[in-house]
Amino acid sequence: MRSLKRLLPLLLAAPLTLAARLTIALPPASLPSYEPSALPASTHATLLGPPDGKGSTYRSAPLSRANTFVFEGLGQGSYLLQVQARDFVFAPLRVDVAAGEGGKETVDVFQTFRGHEWSNRGVRLGGSSGGAEGGDADTVVVDVRPAAGREFYQQRGGFELLSFFKNPMILMALFSLVLIVGMPYMMENMDPETRAEFDEMQKKSPLASPDNPAARLQNFDLAGWMAGKTSGQSQGQSEIQGPAQGQAAVEGGSADAMRCIIDLGLYGR
């Protein structure tokens, strides 16, 4: 009975000595408008650990007045630590808790990356193993700073002259303007032999031939097409009907003159 009474304090103190304690501190940073003491009360840190009999281990710690998050009683395993803030983004951390010498647990905190394998560890930020700074064998203090601020509104971009000239439509307009302004000047100052060669090339160009669809479109007779006549028929009919219409006009004029003379003679009597 006496032996049980002696073992009872040791059994009660065993979990306290074996469990590790992790403290995440938020020191000042160089980011604008960042002040740890001014963070909202909703700021908290979450710790996602390995699954146990009831499911995954999930812990949450609120922000204290000392600008710290405290996790007590950590068991052995690997944890994912995330700081949730409204206005700032914090990088995720990996926390490894393992058994050390003398029944004490060692805590190591590493930088981790989203989308990478869990075995890919980043830079070691602190821990209790190896006599590193940040705490004793059971208590570890690690400083965490925000990576960037959250942007809820998109900033409207200002006018940039370089981006204006990068527009393809603006480049095409400038190229056309250079051709319109510079081609006459180039043609005037061109060598006579080069000018003659250029004119010859224009004559041989497919665009200058009468079979070119563009040339046909320019010489298109819309009125004749609407009347159901082709260009050849309209020209031929105009040549044939021209003398006949003139002769009919002359005959009509002489007949009218004769009628006038007869009428004058009758009224004169």
**Do residues 43 and 134 share a domain?**
yes
What sign for the dihedral angle of Cα 259, 263, 264, 269? positive
- The whole-angstrom separation of Cα 29 and Cα 88 is 11
Instruction: Flag whether 192 is in a domain.
Output: yes
**Do residues 84 and 181 share a domain?**
no
CA 66 to chain centre: 41
CA 110 to chain centre: 33
**Do residues 132 and 178 share a domain?**
no
**CATH number of the domain enclosing 118:** 2.60.40
Instruction: Flag whether 75 is in a domain.
Output: yes
**Do residues 180 and 246 share a domain?**
no
Boundary of a domain, candidates 89, 117, 149: 149
Query: H/E element holding 245?
Result: helix 231-268
**Do residues 13 and 125 share a domain?**
yes
Token match 């990478």: residue?
Answer: 116
The predicted-structure confidence for 45-56, as pLDDT tens digits, reads as follows 999 887 766 656
**Do residues 138 and 169 share a domain?**
no
- Give how many domains the chain has, as a whole number: 3
The predicted-structure confidence for 188-233, as pLDDT tens digits, reads as follows 887 888 888 878 887 777 666 666 666 666 666 777 777 776 555 5
pLDDT value at position 209? 63
- Check: pTM over 0.75? Answer yes or no: no
**Do residues 104 and 205 share a domain?**
no
**Do residues 83 and 198 share a domain?**
no
Q: What is the CA radius of gyration of the chain?
A: 49
Domain that holds residue 87: 2-149
**Do residues 21 and 53 share a domain?**
yes
Residues of the chain with pLDDT under 50: 1, 4, 7-8, 10-11, 13-17, 130-137, 234, 238-240, 242, 244, 246, 248-250, 253, 266-269
Instruction: Flag whether 154 is in a domain.
Output: no
Instruction: Flag whether 225 is in a domain.
Output: no
